[in-house]
Amino acid sequence: MSTASEGHEPVEFALRDGGRIRFGPTGFRHPAAVRFVGEVFTPYEVVSHVSVSARSVRVGTERSVYVLQRGAFRSEADAEAFVGELARRVATAPGGAARIARMREIDRTASLARPPRVTWAFLALCAALQVLQLVDGERIEAAGAFSAGLVRSGEVWRLVTANLLHASPWLPIHFALNGLALLALGSLLEWTIGSARTALVMAVAGVGAMSAGLLVDYEEALGASGVVMGVFGALVFLELRHGAELPAHWRLPRAIIWLGICLQLLLEGLAWAILPIIATGAHVGGFVAGFAACAALGGSGLRREPLDPWVLAGNGLAAVALLASLASAATAWREGPDLTRRADLLLSREAVPAEALNNLAWLIATGEDPGPEDLEAALRLAERAAARTGRRDPNILDTLAEVHFQRGERDAAVAVIEEAIRLEPRERYFLGQRDRFLGRRDPDDRPDPPAPAQPGPRLTPEGSGPLDPSAPEVGV
């Protein structure tokens, strides 16, 4: 490091990776937020806040925030000297006294931050439901997961409850990824705009995400990623509109924001094309809803401003909607899923994927004591799924054979399972199914399913959702 100057003489700090920070008369050059961009020049007149922690130095400006890790400097003394030199340069630049005063006001705002209670409360509710899903996941998801057809039929509570449920409770990767993202982003939002406003943004984002699911006609969706995207959208608005008013450690670098948005759009595009378990439409809906909700808060969006009455009213309405939705889902859970009604909904629509038809048929056929009406619906589902796939998917043919068997139509079951065997002659599962249908094996002794993943995954009675686990879900 060169000797610090009292005036505007150049001062330079060498970094461990070979980079440099150079102070000049009107500004300083430093590494960009995204390393491959190289260096950027920041005038002292646009520096809005400097945040120093044990691990980093964050420099907020009117257009972005830059993070310099303390370990990037050659020594701890260099890191401290950099902060001191920057403070001197900002203070002696035109309008420096006013900028220093604003920084002190921002520091006072940061000191008022409280624990992110709303974020933790939302995560605790999701975690509690995840535990309940371990006990009775199939029925809980059937009662609360989003379904466009069921929402249109009047089960509007699913617009709320679907945000609280997550797939695969025995392997909670879905919940863990959403939870970690929400904890990081939700904490930033709550520190910035306060708990009451954050609760409103989350509520609007969740309903917005699932409402987008109506537009794109998702047959099944669940998960908090729509809320996560809504919180991210709110943070984007705050950075664009109020970035210079915020503590540097509450901000996201704009380069990271734009890069993240581009990567997310790329991933969503790929998911839309090849990985439909990610609910692209709901993610976009959540982002737009969160951005719009934060924009509606306007200048009163920052926590130092008094709460508008409409914010309190909105939170009251959201609380009533949450309690009413949970109560409705609990009632549906106690009554159990009406699978025949679901079958009628799917059969009334032309664009339902074969996998969704197949999975519901299997769930009905292998359920506890299905009645004739249930099995008739399962047969129609399985026949349509088989026709959609040209009878070339052995997994779907096996479902059709199982339905025939449950209906007492043994000859038809054997004929269909023979079709599946011709497609997969080495698969022992289909051979075991044929033995069941021929009476060589106990009717209740269903063989273990194939180890390799088959096209068109099917939901077993011990599965993780009411319909197709490969159907779009609000998840990562």
pLDDT digits (tens, 9 = 90+) for 432-453: 999 999 999 998 899 988 764 4
**Start-end of CATH 2.30.29 domains in the chain:** 11-111
pLDDT of residue 45: 94
pLDDT of residue 360: 86
Helix/strand/coil for 449 = coil
The whole-model pTM stands at 0.74
User: Measured in Å, how far apart are the chain's first and last C-alpha atoms?
Assistant: 45
For 132-156, the pLDDT digits (tens) are 999 988 789 888 999 887 888 788 9
pLDDT of residue 329: 93
Query: 117-335: which CATH topology?
Result: Rhomboid-like fold (1.20.1540)
Are β-strands 20-23 and 56-61 bridged in parallel, bridged antiparallel, or unpaired? unpaired
Q: To which residue do tokens 């299905």 refer?
A: 370
**Start-end of CATH 1.20.1540.10 domains in the chain:** 117-335
pLDDT of residue 453: 43
Q: Could you write out the DSSP letters of every residue in 59-122?
A: EEESS-EEEEEGGGBSSHHHHHHHHHHHHHHHHHSTTHHHHHHHHHHHHHHHHT----HHHHHH
Where would I find the beta strands (DSSP E) of 407-461? none
CATH 1.25.40.10 fits 339-438, yes or no: yes
pLDDT of residue 470: 35
pLDDT of residue 102: 93
Alpha carbon distance 40, 353 (integer Å): 51
The CATH code for residues 11-111 is 2.30.29
**Start-end of CATH 1.25.40.10 domains in the chain:** 339-438
Helix/strand/coil for 212 = helix
The low-confidence residues of the chain, meaning pLDDT below 70, are 1-8, 35-36, 271-277, 299-304, 336-337, 351, 451-476
Residue 204's nearest CA partner among 113, 297, 69 is 297
